[in-house]
Amino acid sequence: MNKFLMSGNSIIGEAAIRAGCRFYAGYPITPQNELTEYMAEHMRNAEGGIFIQSESEIAAINMIAGASAAGARVMTSSSGPGISLKQEGISSMAACELPGVIVNIMRGGPGLGNIRPSQGDYFQATRGGGHGDYRTIVFGPATCQELADLTMDAFDLADKYRTPVMILADGMMGQMMEPVIFKKPKPRNYSENFMLRGAGDGKSKFIRGLILDAIDMEEHNWKLARKYSVIGENEIRYEEHNIDKSELVIVAYGTAARIAKGAIKRLREHNKINVGLFRPITLWPFPELQLRALSRKIKNFLVFEMSTGQMLEDVRLALQGYATVWFHGRPGGAVPTPAELANVVARYYDKKD
Amino acid sequence: MTKTIFKRPKSLKENIFHYCPGCGHSIAHRLIAEVIDEMEIRDVTIGVPPAGCAVLAYNYFDVDMIEAPHGRGPAMATGIKRVLPDRVVLSYQGDGDLAAIGIAESLHAANRGENITVIFINNAVYGMTGGQMAPTTMLEQKTTTTPAGRHKSLDGYPVKVCELFSQLKGVVYAQRCTLTSPAQVNKTKKAIKKAFQCQKDGLGFSLVEILSPCPTNWKMSPVDACKWIDEIMSKEFPLGVFKDDSTTTKKDREAV
């Protein structure tokens, strides 16, 4: 297998095309422009590949919704402010059960914020984000290799569950370069029955999100909820790192988890203390039971995020008061060094039970 | 011997329209269905109904349909058409949908020359939500959100969609028609057919604007509503072909 040195944004694009994505629509926004540009350059060489620079984020998400209904594998990407605009369409795709992949290369917020790496969109991503009662599967990759692997998996899961899937990375992940190997994509498994391609000789079909009857709408909501609970049972992913001999475990995802690994190494070498890492890879569904199981032997957790504390709430819910939960955060595009985090962890380590 | 001279088009389902008495939507639906039948394109047509009174269009049209969020029909239609270029893709939109919340999606689909057809129902009012001001509401016209009448300095002017869109090079055909008499209904049907033909020939964006009565929200009888279109509304929104580049575009395409 060939190894490539590529930036995170380009890796997502390449993985998507290899996974059979043939429709991409997007609007320029930093720090994800390289992904849009990669798709512009490479979609035209992919058989049947379609690239559209849309007039807005709203148009982009609705274009991919239409293309998805027509049967294509579809993707759009953006960063915080643009993802906010896409929420109408994400909600609509969830309601209409249309598969698609949405990439959020997070930047500092709220509002226009800045263009530096941040993790402030965790709530928006993991709580559905748009209006109504729905969830999206959310991946939080922490390496360029994971960007490649999870992008491909995102398309498979979107098809399998007929639901939008979000890749939640940040400006650091999008801009950094690492060597990557592209795995062989699985063949697409998606029924023609779900595609809207003209009635042909058969009965006409329709796809709708508006269901005026309350009981019918309730049933549709429960149908989606049942699907989400199946996803919760089958699709949880996480990584445990250096847990065994540790009395304190950091909980972090994405770039923050990379920093945490650096801090853990430093703490072992310089401070001679053992600290573990629990890294959710699926942010929704959140590895709640897996984290709770850890609290049988570990009583001290430190949530580290590049935000003022969002995943923190999921960690507290998961641990249900069985362990102490501390928090360290750097919002607004400030990225702490492993040394800074190691100092913070060492302070908490002295306070642990 | 009996001869059938009037029957339900095959592309309409056996459902009864929910539209108010005197509403133009049911006539517009029927005309589209007749054209689909006559052009024998039911099997390849994909329709995109809007949010608004026509949101339930899939209950009536016996063709594949996908409902768009408010205003996003042309973006969705773009996605469908690019993936399935040999299908006939129709975006059915109201005045709020096309000229207010979805003007960006509509204008840019037109500007890209997306090979789709937009049927635009202009009834100068928001129908489904109960009669609020539309971007095409006439000056002085009373609506629930312009109780003293639309005022130019507060609410701006009626948006003239055919005039605006016909400036764009991507638009190959734009016509404004109405439904106030059998003759006008026939003209509208011809316009719809022409628009679909442009799409079938791969020429670009085609637009048919239909001045359509809304007796309920105009608080008029159906007859008065038609009269209001003929005497008042069509003065602001003149009927006619605003653009027809089909012949030259076709020649250009053939030359290539």
Q: Across the interface, do A63 and B42 touch by the CB < 8 Å criterion?
A: no
pLDDT at A352: 84
Per-residue pLDDT tens digits for B167-191: 999 999 999 999 999 999 999 999 9
Task: Answer yes or no: is pLDDT of B45 > 90.
Answer: yes
Q: Which of A63, A86, A207, A212 is the best residue to mutate to test the B interface, defined by the most B CB atoms within 10 Å of its own CB? A: A63
Q: Compare A53 and B253 and report the one with higher pLDDT.
A: A53
- Mark out chain B residues that contact chain A at CB-CB < 8 A: 42-46, 48, 51, 55-56, 58, 61-69, 72, 75-80, 82-84, 87-88, 104-105, 107-108, 112
pLDDT at B1: 72
Type of residue found at B201: D
Return the residue matching tokens 């942010």: A283
User: CB-hemisphere CA count at 13 Å for A315?
Assistant: 27
Q: Whole-angstrom Cα distance, residue B91 to residue B75?
A: 9
Per-residue pLDDT tens digits for B52-99: 999 999 999 999 999 999 999 999 999 999 999 999 999 999 999 999
Q: Which of B18, B43, B64, B112 is the best residue to mutate to test the A interface, defined by the most A CB atoms within 10 Å of its own CB? A: B64
Return the residue matching tokens 């926004």: A29
Rounded to two decimals, what is the model's pTM?
0.97
pLDDT at A190: 97
Provide the percentage of residues in chain B whose pLDDT is more than 90. Answer: 96
Q: Across the interface, do A96 and B79 touch by the CB < 8 Å criterion?
A: no
Q: Whole-angstrom Cα distance, residue B76 to residue A196?
A: 12
Q: Burial letters for B204-240: b for 16+ Cβ neighbours within 10 Å, e otherwise?
A: bbbbbbbbbbbbbbbebebeebbebbbeebbeebebe
Q: Which of A56, A62, A192 is the best residue to mutate to test the B interface, defined by the most B CB atoms within 10 Å of its own CB? A: A62
CA distances from A287 to A138, A230, A277 (A): 12, 14, 14
End-to-end CA distance of chain A, in Å? 48
- Is A46 an 8 Å CB contact of chain B? no
| Residues A279 and A150: beta-carbon distance below 8 Å | no
Average pLDDT for chain B: 97
Residue B83: phi and psi, rounded to 5, are -80, -35
pLDDT at B255: 86
Q: How far is A211 from chain B (nearest CA, A)?
A: 10
Task: Answer yes or no: is pLDDT of B125 > 90.
Answer: yes
Q: How many CB pairs under 8 A join A and B?
A: 131
ipTM over 0.85: yes
pLDDT at A254: 98
Per-residue pLDDT tens digits for B190-228: 999 999 999 999 999 999 999 999 999 999 999 999 999
- For chain A, 353 residues long, give each residue's pLDDT as a single digit of tens: 799 999 999 999 999 999 999 999 999 999 999 999 999 999 999 999 999 999 999 999 999 999 999 999 999 999 999 999 999 999 999 999 999 999 999 999 999 999 999 999 999 999 999 999 999 999 999 999 999 999 999 999 999 999 999 999 999 999 999 999 999 999 999 999 999 999 999 999 999 989 999 999 999 999 999 999 999 999 999 999 999 989 999 999 999 999 999 999 999 999 999 999 999 999 999 999 999 999 999 999 999 999 999 999 999 999 999 999 999 999 999 999 999 999 999 999 998 87
